Amino acid sequence: MVTRKEIQLISRRGVLRLTVGEREWTSVVLQAEGTERVLGAEKVGYVSKRLRDFLEHAADDDFKWILSLSEAHVRIYGKLTPDGLTLRFYDRKAVHFADLLISDEEREKWLATLATLETPIMN
């Protein structure tokens, strides 16, 4: 039996949903503007660490690469903006298809939620 754990990283503009499954393989889905899009998948440790690194150390210069996902081959970039943090999503053909704004309060909640994904296997 495969145990799944679902994590929702919520912002006022949408939700980044992580579903951790067998062997810590984690699917990532973006729900925003009334649509849902599968972004791809990767090991939970990779997804969590890359997102946490960005949330903790975002800079306000140009958009920086955060992570790339297998399967759908979506890439996520991020930047610190006057309104908070912006995640920018690109498809496998490098076409920008969505932005997700994260407030400072939401950033703290995301960090706390991502910390729950830490397991001895990841360390």
Percent of the chain residues topping a pLDDT of 90:
80
Q: What's this model's pTM, rounded to 2 decimal places?
A: 0.90
Domain limits, the chain? 5-115
Contact 103, 84 (CB under 8 A): yes
Mean pLDDT of the chain: 91
Structure tokens belonging to residue 26: 């984690």
pLDDT reported for residue 122: 43
Radius of gyration of the chain (CA): 14
CATH of 5-115, picked from 2.60.120, 1.10.490, 2.60.40, 2.30.31, is 2.30.31
- Residue 40: C-alpha distances to residues 18, 44, 74, 83, 112 (Å): 10, 12, 6, 27, 23
